[in-house]
C-alpha cells in the first residue's frame, strides 16, 4: 500500500509498506520464508526476490524519497554501492572521521582497483572534486557528530560529474532526507534506529535513479548479499514505532546534554540539537529533527570503566539507536580518537531516571 505523502511521520511509519486491505487479512505482511516459488509471478527464487523485502523497501523508499534496495547489514549496503559505482582507477572521497569500517573496506577489499582515495573531515574543508566519481559523506558523523552541507556538496559534486552518497544512519530517515537536499544516494544501517530493538542486522540503499537501483538489485542477487525474511519483517515491525522512539530518545539526549554541559568530568560534549553546538546552525537548516546520540570525553579508560560499573541503566555496547541506552568507547575499535571519547546513545527510559543514573555514575 502506498501511503499519502501528505501524512505525518508517525502515520507513514505505521502504514508504510502495508498490504492492501482485504477482509479477514492481517494489518501487516507476514514474513515469506520460501526459497522457491511457482513460476509466472514476480518471484522465482529466494535469492532474487521476496515479498517481505518489497514491503519494507516500499516503506523506507517512501520515507527517504526514492527507490530502496535492502541488504543484510549496513556494511553490505555500503560495500555493494561502492562495488557497483567504482571502477579501477576512479577517485572517491571519504570522510576521515566517519565510520571506520568504510575506510577499512576501501583500503583492504577494494585495493585491487587502485582507487584514488581522498579523505577529508566531515566539517571540511572539502577538496576540489574534479575527476571524482563518488563522494561518500556521513552527516552527522559517527562518532564525532560533525555535520556537513549536503546541498552545497551535492551541487559541487554534480558540477564535477560525481555522485553524492550520504550515510544517513545517525540521522535516520525521519531526521534527514538527503535525496531532497540533492544527494543521489542514501545508505543506512537499519540495525540501529529503524529496527530499533537491538535484535536485527539490516541495511539499505535508497537512490533517485531507477537504473542504479536495478544495478544494486542485480549485484545483490549475483553476490548473494541478501537479507533474511524474518530479519526484514522484524525491522518492518520496528519501523512502526520509529517516530515515537525518536521523540523520546531526542528528549533524553536534550536532557542529558543540559545535565552534562557544565559537568567537571565531561569535556568535548557534542549533540547537534543543542543551540550551542558548533554544528547546530547547519544541522538545523538541513535536519528535520535531532536524534538521541551524544558524544563526549571522560579523562581516560579507567574513568569510562568506572562510569559503566556505577551505572544501572547504561549498557556497554557498540551499536546505537535501540530502546536501551548504551555507551561505546570508540578508541577500542580503531577510531583515531582520544581513549576517553565515548558515544552515548540515549534510549527510551524515563528521562528523569536516565539523567539521575548518568549523574550518579559520574559522581
Please indicate whether residue 192 is annotated as part of the active site: yes
Is residue 4 one of the residues assigned to a domain? no
Among residues 47, 83, 306, 310, the one annotated as catalytic is 47
In terms of domains, do 162 and 221 share one?
Answer: yes
Nearest to 273 by CA among 264, 282, 262, 263: 282
Pair (94, 232) in one structural domain = yes
- In a domain, residue 321? The reply is yes
Residues 272 and 222 occupy one common structural domain: no
Report the CATH number at residue 204: 3.40.640.10
CATH, residue 267: 3.90.1150.10
Regarding whether 358 and 305 lie in a shared domain, the answer is yes
Q: Which of 207, 223, 239 is the last residue of a domain?
A: 239
Which of 167, 277, 328, 335 is catalytic? The answer is: 167
Residue 5: predicted pLDDT: 64
Residues in the chain where the model's pLDDT stays below 70: 1-5
Is 47 one of the catalytic residues? yes
294 and 201 in a common domain:
no
**Of 9, 99, 177, 277, which residue is the catalytic one?**
99
Look at residue 2 and tell me if it is in a domain. Answer: no
pLDDT tens-digit series, residues 130-172? 999 999 999 999 999 999 999 999 999 999 999 999 999 999 9
C-alpha cell at 242: 520509529
Q: Are 142 and 99 within one domain? A: yes
Taking the whole predicted model, whether its pTM rises above 0.85 is answered as yes
Domain assignment present for residue 276? The answer is yes
Residues 248 and 235 in one domain: no
Annotated active-site residue 167? The verdict is yes
Q: Is residue 3 a part of any domain in this protein?
A: no
Domain-located, residue 36? yes
Supply the range of the domain harboring residue 148: 9-239
Query: Do 276 and 159 fall into the same domain?
Result: no
Q: Which three cell numbers stand for residue 310?
A: 556505577
CA distances 284 to 80, 114, 153, 176, 243, Å, are 31, 38, 17, 10, 18
Q: Residues 359, 259: contact at Cβ < 8 Å?
A: yes
Q: For residue 133, is it within any domain?
A: yes
Instruction: Catalytic residue, from 103, 133, 177, 192: name it.
Output: 192
User: Number of structural domains, the chain?
Assistant: 2
Q: Which pLDDT score is estimated for 2?
A: 46
Last residue of a domain, one of 239, 271, 299: 239
Q: Which of 239, 262, 294 finishes a domain?
A: 239
Is 99 one of the catalytic residues?
Answer: yes
Q: Is residue 1 part of a domain?
A: no
Helix (H, G, I), strand (E, B) or coil at 263: coil
280 and 355 co-located in one domain: yes
Burial of 359 (0-12, 13-18, 19+ CB in 10 A): middle
Angle value at C-alpha 142, between 141 and 146, nearest 5 degrees: 30
Do residues 149 and 231 both lie within one domain? yes
Among candidates 193, 183, 181, 186, which has minimal Cα distance to 285? Answer: 181
Do 181 and 327 fall within a single domain? no
Same domain, 201 and 219: yes
Amino acid at each position: 500500500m502506498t501511503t499519502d505523502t501528505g501524512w505525518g511521520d508517525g502515520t507513514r511509519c505505521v502504514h508504510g509498506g502495508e498490504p492492501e486491505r482485504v477482509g479477514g487479512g492481517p494489518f501487516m505482511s507476514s514474513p515469506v520464508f520460501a526459497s522457491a516459488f511457482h513460476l509466472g509471478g514476480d518471484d522465482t527464487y529466494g535469492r532474487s526476490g521476496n515479498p517481505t523485502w518489497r514491503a519494507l523497501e516500499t516503506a523506507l523508499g517512501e520515507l527517504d524519497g526514492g527507490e530502496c534496495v535492502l541488504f543484510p547489514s549496513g556494511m553490505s549496503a555500503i560495500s555493494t554501492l561502492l562495488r557497483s559505482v567504482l571502477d579501477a582507477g576512479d577517485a572517491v572521497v571519504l570522510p576521515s572521521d566517519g565510520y571506520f569500517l568504510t575506510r577499512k573496506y576501501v583500503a583492504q577489499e577494494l585495493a585491487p582497483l587502485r582507487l584514488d582515495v581522498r579523505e577529508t573531515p566531515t566539517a571540511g574543508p572539502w577538496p576540489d572534486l574534479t575527476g571524482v566519481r563518488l563522494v561518500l559523506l556521513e552527516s552527522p558523523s559517527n562518532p564525532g557528530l560533525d555535520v556537513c552541507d549536503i546541498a552545497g556538496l551535492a551541487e559541487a559534486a554534480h558540477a564535477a560529474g560525481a555522485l553524492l552518497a550520504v550515510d544517513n544512519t545517525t540521522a535516520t530517515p525521519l531526521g534527514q532526507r538527503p535525496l531532497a537536499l540533492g544527494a543521489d544516494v542514501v545508505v543506512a544501517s537499519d540495525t540501529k534506529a529503524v529496527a530499533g530493538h537491538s535484535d536485527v542486522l539490516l541495511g539499505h540503499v535508497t537512490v533517485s535513479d531507477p537504473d542504479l537501483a536495478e544495478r544494486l538489485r542485480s549485484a545483490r542477487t549475483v553476490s548473494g548479499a541478501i537479507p533474511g525474511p524474518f530479519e526484514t519483517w522484524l525491522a518492518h515491525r520496528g519501523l512502526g514505532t520509529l517516530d515515537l522512539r525518536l521523540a523520546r530518545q531526542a528528549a533524553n539526549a536534550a536532557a542529558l546534554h543540559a545535565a552534562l554541559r557544565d559537568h567537571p568530568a565531561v569535556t568535548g560534549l557534542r549533540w547537534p540539537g543543542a543551540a550551542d553546538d558548533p554544528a547546530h546552525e547547519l544541522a538545523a537548516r538541513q535536519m528535520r529533527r535531532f536524534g538521541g546520540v551524544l558524544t563526549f570525553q571522560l579523562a581516560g579508560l579507567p574513568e569510562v570503566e568506572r562510569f559503566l560499573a556505577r551505572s544501572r541503566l547504561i549498557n556497554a555496547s557498540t551499536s546505537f539507536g535501540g530502546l536501551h541506552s548504551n555507551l561505546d568507547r570508540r578508541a577500542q575499535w580503531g577510531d583515531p580518537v582520544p581513549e576517553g571519547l565515548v558515544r552515548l546513545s540515549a534510549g527510551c527510559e524515563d528521562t528523569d531516571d536516565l539523567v539521575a543514573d548518568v549523574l550518579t555514575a559520574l559522581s
